[in-house]
Chains A and B, each alone.
Chain A
Amino acid sequence: MRKLISGAIYLLSGAVGVLAFIYPFFAPAGAVPQQAMAHSQDAPLLTAALVGLSVVALLVELQGRSLSAKTVAMLGVLVAVTSVLRFLEVVFPMPGGFSPIFAPIIIAGYVFGGRFGFLMGTFTLLASGLITGGVGPWLPYQMFTAGWAGLTAGWLGRASKWANRRMGDPRLTSSVSRFAPNAATLSSHARHLDVLVLCIFGFIWGLLYGAIINVYFWPFAAGSVEQTWAPGIGLGETLARYGAFYAVTSLTWDLARAVGNVALILLLGRPMIKALERFRRRFDFQVHRSHPAPEPRVDVVEADAYA
């Protein structure tokens, strides 16, 4: 029952967030509030509020199961390390949209699971935004998108676990901890296949991140007819126009991010997975409440003897 409700929360918050981003693709003619008039700016504000609320709902659910000290400490430190990488990006401008923060988020999500990945994605963007002066209206969108990159990386890890089971991978371990439910899929030596899959995943998210962030303002941007949205143009035409807009304005920029993700995962993937896996096992300890001390039976016996 609890799992069902939890799944519903994931699904609904994802649906609200995704719909807030992509609704222009499905809006019929006349359904959008008086586009060209004074209230044309209402929808972006409403969208921002919806994205913010869906992030809040997901955070409540993810935190609801009480984070252990180990998760809190590891998350905090990994967010710090990744934020420092983003700080480097601000100090030394990187080509195009390349950012070194996505590869660690994806790899951590892959190893530790979707919950950890989502939290790492959102908190990395928040903490790095705070230290680099990057707090702004764009931050909820960045947090939402990076969080989902981490969350889906966790799902990928789970799929990898399933595939490994199907293949009867002898390196699978049976120690499944609540802290890292899908980490058991990974052996102590990360396989080349994992890195390859992560490279493809990182490439896709490199492009997807820019494409998603664009969508929140694209319906309201002015531009040539071939690149802008208009009510009632249909899904196919909308996709074609968005494709043209994306190709002209963002593709080169986002390609740098996608290729950068692949390069970083190729470079860091194996050693990072190995390190995270090793620490996952070291962190896999539980603290249980000790049982109450046994009654001093001797005294009772003595009392009986004296009775």
Chain B
Amino acid sequence: MLDARVWFLWAVTTLVAASSTRSPLYVIVMLLTTTVVGATCATGEGRRAPLSPLRFAVVSVPLSALFNGLTVHLGDTVLFHLPDWLPLLGGAITLEALAFGALNGLTLTVIFSAFSVFNQVTPVRDLVKLTPRAFHEGGVVLSIALTFIPQTTQSLKRIREAQAVRGHRVQGIRDWLPIVVPLLVSGLERAMGLAEAMVARGYGAVTDEEQPLRTQGLLVLGLLLLLAGWLAYLFRAAWRIPGIAAMGAGAAMIGLVVWMTGRAVHHTVYRARAWTGKDTLAVLGCTLTLTVTLTQREVLYYSPYPQLTLPAFDPLVGLALLGLLVPAIVTMAAEDARPLASETQRDEGTNGGF
């Protein structure tokens, strides 16, 4: 199993790559990649996705094609005309508009599929561990919430049963009142007990620690640089490079504040997960894809307007996109090696017996 940070990088890389192109060939490569990774890695008892990527595609591709086809009247290949008196819909229905809509749906499917895999392969506990040290209190809130969710669900069930025994039936929104209020009050009672236990164990005994002025000052400076850089980037074509530099400096300053705040927090790990060679390989694969995606924007670009043409395909760029396949490859390699290892262990055990 790969590190949660690697999976996060993988999902973000897929998002960036999918957002960078509308070429059906590259999009299909990415869709196949995420499907293979999902089929290989998301086989355990992880969280079930609310909607499978296939079902998502069945809905999103035709819907997006239909919406775009009906509302965009650009393109040379006119299929038919809708009467002009129809507001927004009236005009030429073109093949190009339908194709662009379908491509948008396909791109959305890639993004949905990647995050669906991410949601399935990363345990919630590992995601909470990704919380930066600076946000340790946020991490505690999140941990409490995630721990209390099953208890709250149980409470909800118990309250519903108790109300049902009294003859209460949920038929409309008004009937939820005798269920939601006891649920809230029982939750708050638990919060009271939890807070007392936390205080008794010394958590937050000092409640009025102020943030150092230096940290706040840096935060203000970072935000000012971000804002100034963003405005320069947008409104002054000649200042785009300094604008990007200012935004970079602002982001770095906010990152520095997060690091400084986090440094003051002592962090312990009960059982640390070791970084493996598989994680490194997956990171290298993502880095390759990300680098090519960010540097080859012109190669990835495709638009079906004004006339639908066959998209170009650069095999090297296509190959670079396969960097996203590394998690599946290392998982398959690990699974292939497992029976061998267990056989070896068995043999050794047998020999030892002799």
Contact = CB atoms under 8 A, between A and B. Distances in A.
A76 B191 contact: yes
Interface stretch (B148-156, B314-322, B346-354): B148-156
Contacts of B233: 46
B330 interface: no
Contact of B223 (A57, A76, A80, A134): A57
B124 A38 contact: no
30 contacts: A12-B227, A13-B223, A19-B231, A30-B237, A37-B301, A53-B254, A56-B258, A61-B219, A63-B137, A64-B215, A64-B216, A66-B137, A66-B204, A67-B141, A75-B141, A75-B144, A76-B143, A79-B145, A80-B146, A81-B187, A83-B145, A83-B152, A84-B149, A131-B124, A137-B115, A222-B97, A222-B100, A227-B88, A271-B177, A283-B195
B198 A73 contact: yes
Interface string B286-318: 000000000001101101000000000000000
Interface residues of A, number: 93
Nearest to B192: A282
Interface string A113-127: 000000100010011
A4 B229 CA distance: 23
Interface string A88-122: 00100000000000000000000000000001000
Contacts of A32: 234
A129 B216 CA distance: 30
Contacts of A69: 195, 198-199, 203-204
Contacts, number: 278
Nearest to A279: B188
Contacts of B185: 275
Interface stretch (B25-33, B68-76, B273-281, B337-345): B68-76
Contacts of A33: 240
A224 B88 contact: yes
A8 B220 contact: yes
A181 interface: no
Majority secondary structure of chain B interface residues (helix, strand, loop or mixed): helix
Nearest to B124: A130
B269 interface: no
Given A38-B298, A38-B300, A287 B226 contact: no
Contact of A133 (B49, B184, B240): B49
A39 interface: yes
A16 B226 CA distance: 7
A268 B177 contact: yes
A40 to B, nearest CB: 8
Interface of A: 1-2, 5-6, 8-9, 12-13, 15-16, 19-20, 23, 27-28, 30-33, 36-39, 41-42, 44-46, 49-50, 53-54, 56-57, 59-61, 63-70, 72-81, 83-84, 87, 90, 119, 123, 126-127, 130-137, 178, 222-224, 226-227, 244, 248, 263-264, 267-268, 271-272, 275-276, 279, 282-283, 286-287, 289
B141 A119 contact: yes
A275 B145 contact: no
Contacts of B180: 268
B19 A41 contact: yes
A77 to B, nearest CB: 4
A35 to B, nearest CB: 11
B144 A222 contact: no
Nearest to A221: B104
A276 B156 CA distance: 19
A83 B234 CA distance: 38
A84 B191 contact: no
A77 B185 CA distance: 11
B166 interface: no
B235 interface: yes
Interface string B130-166: 0000110110111111111101110010000000000
Given A77-B148, A137-B111, A224-B71, A64 B261 contact: yes
A5 B188 contact: no
B178 to A, nearest CB: 10
Contacts of A81: 152, 183-184, 187
Nearest to A247: B88
Given A9-B219, A60-B219, A31 B144 contact: no
A31 B243 CA distance: 13
Contacts of B145: 75-77, 79-80, 83, 123, 127
B292 to A, nearest CB: 14
